[in-house]
Amino acid sequence: MTKANILLTPGPTMVPQEALDVMAEPIFHHRTPQYRELFKEVSENLKLVFRTSQDVYTLTGSGTLAMEASVVNFLSPGDKVIVVEAGKFGERWSALAKRYQMNLVQLKAPYGKVVPAKELEKALKDNPDTKAVFATLCETSTGVLFDIEGMAKETSRTPAILVVDSISGLGADRLEMDEWGVDIVVTGSQKALMIPPGLAFIAISQKAWKLNETAKCLRYYADLGAYRKSLADWDTPWTPALTLVLALKQTLKMINSEGIETIWKRCARLAELTRSQMKSIGLTLFSKDWSNAVTAINVPAGVDGKKLVSTIRDKKGYTLAGGQGDMDGKIFRICHFGIVSEEHITGVTQVIKETIEELKAKGPVKV
């Protein structure tokens, strides 16, 4: 196994050296003016990435914590919700809604497809008592991009709020929270924000906060009212992941120095390069509605998809993502955001090509 291992998974992603360095510095106490100054800077700079004037709340936990918080803080058992579902993470929205006893309406599409905004328009007309719509910007399991702008247009005409999982998409795909009228946006630290796993983030519109006043779902650690109160003093209600916040300060500086518009364009170029490189070695793409965060590629016939990914990881120095859910062993995925470069994409292309040839030489997969 080679020592170097380049992460090309859609989370966790490679962490810039500047962020690694600051995490190795001596720690200080978090209930201090020093921390509040740090947290103020981070919280304000996050707004630039979320494209919002609303406060962004930082939670110590994975992105799923922010997803759960966006359910329990704004809804009550029995409320009607619509979930737009076309992959593993859309399915997570449905699982959360069921766990908290919501009246669930599912708009489904097969893996690799999207649910058009027009379908949401009809569903909202058929279900005028809908309290919330849950959707995904980039479905990480398949690499497809949903029309969040179109969905926001539909929800803005109704009392329902639009909640978007942008955990893998934020910072790679365009998302205009305020301009489009998205009510809640959640994300995680280990994607385009370029730091290790452990922080989750949630931004909330005033329309959504009104629902919070009547929400009856039980919550404690995920009670956003407590976070709102603490943020007024640039603090958190519970112990923050201090070293991750320090790292985030560095990566947000990088992001805002380059500019989010420029980053979106760079991710689009890398996405196109990835797809053209995969086609150049005879592989086919899994979908057409592509995100600029991650590309899913079909495993060629006669090749063990799990073996392909594990061999490249354990022997070739690149970590790719395999398929999830129904696509396990059938596709593999390459991310192209954060500090991923053209050299990384062209390098892994050659490795994928040679590994497929090696596996084919050993004989086809036995069914």
Binding-site residues for substrate:
333
d(CA 122, CA 157): 12
Angle between helices 63-72 and 88-99 (to 10 degrees): 40
d(CA 174, CA 51): 10
Residue 73 in 3-state DSSP? coil
Backbone angles phi, psi at 23, to 5 degrees: -70, -20
d(CA 202, CA 74): 13
Residue 159 tokens read as 């009392």
Return the DSSP state at 170. B
Which is it for strands 161-165 and 130-136: parallel, antiparallel or unpaired?
parallel
Residues near 236 by Cβ (< 8 Å), separated by ≥ 6?
39, 58, 60, 227, 230
Residue 124 tokens read as 């909202």
In the annotated binding site, the residues are 333
CA distances from residue 211 to 140, 207, 215, 306, 363 in whole angstroms, order as listed:
29, 7, 6, 44, 59
d(CA 340, CA 335): 8
Q: Half-sphere exposure of residue 62, counting CA atoms within 13 Å on the CB side? A: 4
Q: Which residue has the tokens 């279900």?
A: 127
